[in-house]
Amino acid sequence: MIRDVRLFLASLTKVNTEIAFYIFGALDQNNNLPERAFPPDREESLGTEMVEAGQALQERARKRRVTVEGASSTSAIPSGQENMGELP
């Protein structure tokens, strides 16, 4: 794997791990365990990391699309799925 892909996957792993802690914190808070709740600063940071990961994923898709569209075969993108996942 190239370095950029490794960094991208590492950032997704970090966000995924934080999401798991966030879920468990929400469940703990819901079960009256406020000392185990996810702190607001950490929650805000997770939101920022999620947005950044989403933007990186969109950029990666754009770069891959250019590569796929520039290839001689157009069968790499299934019909009807050319714009899946894009935001309006």
Read off the pLDDT of residues 43-78 as tens digits, 9 standing for 90 and up: 999 999 999 999 999 999 998 888 877 764 444 555
Domain map of the chain by residue range?
3-66
Treating both helix axes as pointing N-terminal to C-terminal, what angle do 3-30 and 40-70 enclose, rounded to 10 degrees?
A: 140
Residue type, position 70, single letter = G
Share above pLDDT 70 across residues of the chain, in percent, rounded to a whole number: 78
What is the structure's pLDDT at 81?
Answer: 52
- Assess whether pLDDT exceeds 50 at residue 87: no
Higher per-residue pLDDT: 75 or 29: 29
Closest CA to 64 of 73, 54, 53, 76: 76
Given this model, what pLDDT does residue 66 score?
Answer: 87
**d(Cα 74, Cα 44) in Å, to the nearest integer?**
41
Residue 15 · residue 53 · CB < 8 Å? yes
Q: Tell me the pTM.
A: 0.68
